Amino acid sequence: MDINEIKEYLPHRYPFLLVDRVVELDLEGKRIRAYKNVSVNEPFFEGHFPGHPIMPGVLIIEAMAQAAGLLGFKMMNTKAEDGTLYYFVGSDKLRFRQPVVPGDQLQLEATYLSNKRGIWKFACRALVDGKEACSGEIICAEHRV
């Protein structure tokens, strides 16, 4: 999926659209691989941290959640414009292992774990150069708007 197709599914827009491309979508295996190119021009680097820019952890989590949301939309064969959103409602087993800095390509992986009464759970990882930067289980709630 290129950025135009991603924007058909995710309601996020700049500066909060954090998935640039989907490189693998396996609906049978219920997994997705995507990436975000981390540019020095990102607005958050101006204040996080001056002279030592690091991508905020909450935005890494948000990027993983957006990849998981794309997988959920594709599994349900629906789009945000159809009246369904996935709200990030929690995480389990969350760990940060290394910082993400300008110039990195953040590889995003999400695998479906469960859906019980509209509460979706995904196992997610964010990697840079094959090394895990962050991992955890992302929990989303399906919400009709």
Cβ(102)–Cβ(39) below 8 Å: yes
- Overall size of the chain counted in residues: 145
Side-chain half-sphere of 22: how many Cα atoms within 13 Å? 25
Considering only CA atoms, which of 94, 73, 80 is closest in space to residue 13? 80
Distance CA 28, CA 69 (A): 16
Catalytic residue check, 12: no
Phi, psi of 56 (to 5 degrees): -60, 135
Residue ranges of the alpha helices (H) in the chain?
Answer: 3-9, 57-76
Q: Which of 12, 48, 52, 143 is catalytic?
A: 48
Residue 62 is classified by DSSP as H
Q: Is 92 helix (H, G, I), strand (E, B) or coil?
A: strand
Catalytic site residues?
48
